[in-house]
Amino acid sequence: MILIDFTHMDKRSVSGIERVCQTLFTGSDWDCHQVEYVRGGSTLKLIIQQWFGIPLRMLLDGNAILICPGFPPSPIVTFLFRRRLFVYVYDLFLIERKADLNWRARWYMAPSFRYAIGNAKNFFALTDHVRSKLLAYARSDAQIRTVRPEADNIFSLAPRAGGRDGKRDAINVLSIGTVEPRKNYLYAADICDQLALIENRPVHLHIIGRRGWGSDFDALSARPNVRLHGFVGDDDMAQLIETCDFFVYVPHDEGLGLPALEVQYSGIPVVASDLAVFRETLDTSAVFVDPSDPRRAAGVISQALAARSEFDALSSKAKENVQRWNLQSGEDRRAMFEWIEGACP
């Protein structure tokens, strides 16, 4: 029996974690296994399942293995069943970026995560970047394997017919993700302000994503160059992506940066912080900018806009990068099944 902890999943979930869970841990290739998905539905049910329901199931079936691809397992699960437990790690924010956590993550998820990282035996890591960081916290005998999720064309995007006109009256910039401090949208807005000064024309930042915790949403609402779209349906998403000149992604840190891969199906140029994780994810298909100096970042973007050839080349590189990533993902997925099947009695 394979138990998969889906207590964090519900039909309204649209975040990167939920998309990864759907991509990696559902589908026809799981049909040949005896799999049961443990659901929550509400916060109370989630807590009851994680602290009581799942441990009871593991006690009753001494051959069951447990995969936790969302919330970290409760300490009781990690303590009692560490050898039959597989934890999927998206990032180390719960340990390394406490200031970017809301109170639920800080007081409920973080303690369980810290205990699991230091005591569990088997881990899947979202990227090689996450795996390298996880090695510093995990047991010396822990097994950690990178399992990259496939980047799907979830917005049904069509490749761009050609480059954008670099002499238009205004520049439209797109970013996607929940509006919260870790996403660093205020820095993206600062880059757009500096780019407007350099280009001597308006630069509008369009942000698609629900309001999260913190004060960033209100601060961005007061910025005249920012438009907060909230949740946008797939059809409207595709239209908005088509009207934008480039996609900007400058969070403080990420485990992957899935939106940057997903929009590449359109061929839209991507501008990302020059961080190791984005070098891994985007390879040579993006313009990388200083994550701490908005004027310098704007200067790099302005030069790319002026030359046009660099931005135009990114459209073809985007398709190649998604293919490269998904090829790696397929290999990781096959290795993941081999590991899980080897652990099943």
Query: Tell me, what amino acid is at 249?
Result: Y
Question: Does the pLDDT value for residue 344 go beyond 90?
Answer: no
| Residue of 46 and 114 predicted with greater confidence | 114
Question: Does the pLDDT value for residue 211 go beyond 80?
Answer: yes
Question: Does the pLDDT value for residue 16 go beyond 90?
Answer: no
Give the start-end residues of each E strand in the chain.
2-6, 35-39, 65-68, 85-89, 122-125, 143-146, 171-176, 203-208, 226-230, 246-249, 270-273, 286-289
Cα–Cα distances (Å) from 207 to 73, 121, 230, 247, 321, in that order, read: 33, 39, 7, 10, 24
Q: Which of 29-38, 118-127, 198-207, 292-301 has the lowest mean pLDDT?
A: 29-38
Question: Does the pLDDT value for residue 164 go beyond 60?
Answer: no
Q: Model confidence over 239-266: pLDDT tens digits?
A: 888 889 999 999 988 889 899 999 999 9
The secondary structure of the chain in percent helix, strand, coil, rounded to multiples of 5, reads 50, 15, 35
Neighbours of 303 (CB within 10 A): 12
For helices 185-199 and 294-307, what crossing angle results, to 10°? 50
Residue 56 corresponds to which tokens in the numbers above?
Answer: 């009871």
pLDDT at position 145 is 95
Q: Report the alpha-carbon distance of residue 75 to residue 69 in Å, rounded.
A: 16
pTM over 0.75: yes
Q: Report the alpha-carbon distance of residue 43 to residue 25 in Å, rounded.
A: 22
Domains of the chain in start order, with CATH, are: 2-147 (3.40.50), 171-325 (3.40.50.2000)
Q: How many helices (H) and strands (E) does the chain have?
A: 15, 12
Nearest in space to 248 (alpha carbons), one of 224, 274, 223, 222: 274
Question: What residue has token string 């659901």?
Answer: 39
Which SS3 state, helix, strand or coil, does residue 40 take? coil
pLDDT at position 182 is 87
Q: Report the alpha-carbon distance of residue 203 to residue 172 in Å, rounded.
A: 6
Q: What does the pLDDT average to over 275-293?
A: 93
